[in-house]
Amino acid sequence: MLGVIVLAHGSRDPLWRAPIESVAQQIARGDASAVVSCAYLELCEPDIATAARQLVAQGATRIRVLPLFFGMGKHAREDLPQRMADLGAAHPGTAFELLPTAGEDPRLTALLAKIALETTA
């Protein structure tokens, strides 16, 4: 079973989470057989280890991590590979895949450019 973790930095402001949770909801609607969770690096819960543990408990045997970071900063370059290694060690029967950061996807950058150039009525 596929599990997906939508990973973001985190914020103390509860309204900040709404777009991250929206992405998770859209993933769940797109594949009803997948189990989906949000996770945060800091400032709010759950963290990535907790989210992975919950997905494994729900039957996920393959977990994809989607980092909602626009650039390839220190978190994406250094912290995430270490956390992915930790997840693999904690759940040896589960395959983990770290997807590129959202900002590295040319479809997203093209969409943002399109949004910037749209005329609003």
pLDDT of residue 32: 94
Regions of the chain where pLDDT drops below 50: none
Specify the DSSP class assigned to residue 121: -
Instruction: From the candidates 9, 17, 62, 75, give the one annotated as an active-site residue.
Output: 9
Based on the residue annotation, tell me whether 9 is a catalytic residue of this protein.
Answer: yes
For the chain, give the mean pLDDT: 93
Q: Could you give the maximum distance between any two Cα atoms of the chain, in Å? A: 53
pLDDT of residue 73: 65
pLDDT of residue 79: 85
The answer, as to whether pTM is greater than 0.75, is yes
pLDDT of residue 120: 74
Q: What is the pLDDT of residues 54-87, one digit of tens each?
A: 999 999 999 999 999 987 667 667 789 999 999 9
